[in-house]
Structure 1
């Protein structure tokens, strides 16, 4: 599909190893795995909620509003899980917030 052969994958793995180091790779893998697991759980919850909403067609407008709210909470849940479980992402987000605050002060 992308034309990535074994040589290219080995080069990418070496670059990732050099960037993150051998000590941080298990933590990053654990964090990403947990985030993916949580995303799948939330997706299952939403699909079960959606089937329950489809069976109850009494208040269609309220269902649309609730679906929009659950979509927003899905995004918030996934973002929070990623920030909690991947160590580098949280630090980067903190630095970005500080940089934005400094930028706003300089304006």
Structure 2
């Protein structure tokens, strides 16, 4: 049996699976993927975004914590030279400016 058949999002690449798990808050799938292939914790998508960046954008703090504990690189930048911290700060500023905090 193919190992990827047991994973959610079967049929897509492991990179897209790890990004989907991060944005959807599927901590169990995220952990299974990065344990199986540790390079996935910092895998970039077509925008240069890592799973950690998607956790920040989707407010998936438990998944972000799992990635950080697994050693995800907090200094990785996307194609626009933004880190996960930059994205979090941008998101907070938008919330403040719209009164959603």
The TM-score bracket by the shorter chain reads under 0.3
Higher percent of residues as helix: 1
Q: Which has the higher contact order (CA 8 A, sep 6+)?
A: 1
